[in-house]
Structure 1
């Protein structure tokens, strides 16, 4: 057995071998730097946000099966990297809906955002502009169209439109968005009525927030949230003239279940920018929309917040791209929690992706700086995943780089049973 001669370290050698890191005194910067993933930001957000507001963001409809399946779909993939390719530099930029984006993802529309954290859509729009990616304002946003434009004056702003019972409200929003220079309109088709947001009902989450014994107790360890909420300007809704009630009640009072293709025609006649239909969930509707000449579609089940057990957009993606990918740009959302999820979506044919909860987790974790951190995490993950796959541009990504594994295999394809029954008749 060999023996190692031991000696006391010389102070000069000790300092040469060990470096000391001074503690970060800025608490916000410290907690955001500790976040290495979107899941880390989610945990910080949960600690800092009252339960009702956090659950509104984090939750989905009914038993929340759809959002769980969407996330599982991204977990259940296998990457297939190439080898011996120079990936010293990679280009993550793309062109989507007629304009540039520095990354293959943008910020999705989210409602009531200033209830999550008081900086709200202004923080999201500003961070998106600084990063060179698009920002989407929701019809149910809590910052006006004009103020979002002011927060992101030189970047790309998109507007997500609900068709309201009072059509003149929707028409007025379209006119304001166009006047403010928004370049793309998301015509949303998956919300004839509100989904069953059970967490909101159980928490008594309302607009505006109501003080109850439960909310007061939950607020005690989070005084900063209430301080921010009570000492900043009141919520400013783009579309609601009155509030009071749960989110589901507000949606049901505003949305119109009679929305039809005629409404799409009317909005298209009013809008001079790109028109994208959001909330598409099957191949047949994708083909019809492509035939109608829309500029894009977003495969989405509304983050699992509408019809629970709806199709998983990532699973639907290859079939839709195969049918309409040459005729219309296909984007995707729901369940994206990492840059690897984004790269997998692009490889399977998506032209672009949208992040909703991931953006809001960052917002709740640290306001504008938290959104910056979300974008930085995802951007770093996108670039690293591309380098490990050994591709240098998004255009090089293809289905050969990804295998979609599947936990749930249908016993019979949708529609096949009825077709078989008709054949026997």
Structure 2
């Protein structure tokens, strides 16, 4: 059966992946309310369509940080993608580039930055977690600069990992503990097992390189989870500036006051985000915050958002409420997990087609001209 929607690709990914891998992709914090609201909040925003408008041609293009994009979308940073496919980040970068979109490489990536650079055919951005030993982040930024990465996203909503009950239910640890339950789970997914058996379990190779550690997932996971810098403050944006000569974007903003502080301390943009509902349960959704944040800082910096983008119409709603762009997290991973690189490309193509149809039916053929008069609360 053809996979017509992002939800179809999600279902296909669930069939192909062992439960522990799918739950890592899909799971949220605690009872999953924040993650569920990320999607449902879009359903409370309606459109105000106009008729008898010339919609023969549709313009969905955008400009972000001097880069011309096919639509105001980036393939956002996600970690441990090698759980779903080997060479995951290379494939995501190629899919994004072919779609005319940036790809954001995570600190927790499983493909070496040099390999991603060689594979990419579009803009590359870097997502950064800061460990207690800041030399790791400094090496990471230096390597990214040398590889032509242009935009830095500093993630600020993860001083600790959120409470993720599915980890405990599935016995998910790094490295994996080979329990009878886990072995049975893997045995029921032979295609994933064969692929992983050939290529081996993923490693956070860039983190290992920059921390000068051996390629051992246990050590890498400890560096990520136990050595996150919990003393990071707004004044540390100045430290980042000394090591990054491009735009610095603060990712993980969850209130209007912090958006104002980001502007005050010289950020070049913000990403409204509750980390895909994986961190603080009952944190606000980005789409709910968007209009108020744009009113507070609009015009002074780009305001991006993520969380719950499963339809092209969601992109239109975000732009109408003032977003300069959106980041995709789970959606392209569903395509990658179920259909490899071609699946990731198809998910991006689905969102593009849906966005084009939305603009035509809305009677607003130029995406960047959308405004609040084009949406309503329902």
Instruction: Give the TM-score normalised by the residue count of structure 2.
Output: 0.95
Q: Is 2:187–2:193's contact at 8 Å kept on the other side of the alignment?
A: no
Q: Pick from 129, 142, 146 the counterpart of residue 175 of structure 1.
A: 142
Q: Pick from 352, 363, 372 the counterpart of residue 379 of structure 1.
A: 352
For residue 255 of structure 2, what is the aligned residue in structure 1? Answer: 282
The yes-or-no answer on 1:316 pairing with 2:295 is: no
* C-alpha distance in structure 2 between counterparts of 1:254 and 1:229, whole Å: 28
For residue 326 of structure 1, what is the aligned residue in structure 2? Answer: 299
Q: Is 1:65–1:308's contact at 8 Å kept on the other side of the alignment?
A: yes
Alignment RMSD, CA only?
1.6
User: For this pair of structures, how many residues does the alignment match?
Assistant: 371
The runs of 5 or more residues in structure 2 that have no matched partner are none
For residues 217-236 of structure 1, what are the structure 2 equivalents within 5 Å? 217-232=184-199, 235-236=202-203
Q: Pick from 108, 111, 127 the counterpart of residue 140 of structure 1.
A: 108
The yes-or-no answer on 1:49 pairing with 2:17 is: yes
More deviation, 95-104/106-115: 95-104
Q: Pick from 211, 217, 222 the counterpart of residue 243 of structure 1.
A: 217
More deviation, 238-247/326-335: 238-247
CA-to-partner distance for each residue in 1:142-191, whole Å, 9 max, x for gaps?
A: 11211111110x41000000011111111100001111000100011101
For residue 201 of structure 1, what is the aligned residue in structure 2? Answer: 168
* C-alpha distance in structure 2 between counterparts of 1:54 and 1:302, whole Å: 17
Q: Pick from 170, 178, 182 the counterpart of residue 211 of structure 1.
A: 178
For residue 260 of structure 1, what is the aligned residue in structure 2? Answer: 233
For residue 52 of structure 2, what is the aligned residue in structure 1? Answer: 84
Question: Secondary structure in 2 aligned to 1:239?
Answer: helix
* C-alpha distance in structure 2 between counterparts of 1:385 and 1:374, whole Å: 17
Q: Pick from 307, 324, 332 the counterpart of residue 280 of structure 2.
A: 307
* C-alpha distance in structure 2 between counterparts of 1:204 and 1:282, whole Å: 34
For residues 328-367 of structure 1, what are the structure 2 equivalents within 5 Å? 328-367=301-340
* C-alpha distance in structure 2 between counterparts of 1:151 and 1:393, whole Å: 32
CA positional deviation for 1:395: 2.0
Q: Pick from 43, 47, 52 the counterpart of residue 75 of structure 1.
A: 43
The yes-or-no answer on 1:149 pairing with 2:117 is: yes
CA positional deviation for 1:267: 0.8
More deviation, 116-125/40-49: 116-125
CA positional deviation for 1:246: 11
Q: Is 2:203–2:217's contact at 8 Å kept on the other side of the alignment?
A: no
Q: Is 1:200–1:246's contact at 8 Å kept on the other side of the alignment?
A: no
Q: Is 1:112–1:140's contact at 8 Å kept on the other side of the alignment?
A: yes
Question: Secondary structure in 2 aligned to 1:71?
Answer: helix
The yes-or-no answer on 1:189 pairing with 2:163 is: no
CA positional deviation for 1:234: 5.5
For residue 133 of structure 2, what is the aligned residue in structure 1? Answer: 166
* C-alpha distance in structure 2 between counterparts of 1:343 and 1:200, whole Å: 34
* C-alpha distance in structure 1 between counterparts of 2:195 and 2:178, whole Å: 15
Q: Is 1:363–1:371's contact at 8 Å kept on the other side of the alignment?
A: yes
Question: Secondary structure in 1 aligned to 2:39?
Answer: helix
The runs of 5 or more residues in structure 1 that have no matched partner are 1-30, 406-425
For residue 24 of structure 1, what is the aligned residue in structure 2? Answer: none
Question: Secondary structure in 2 aligned to 1:231?
Answer: helix
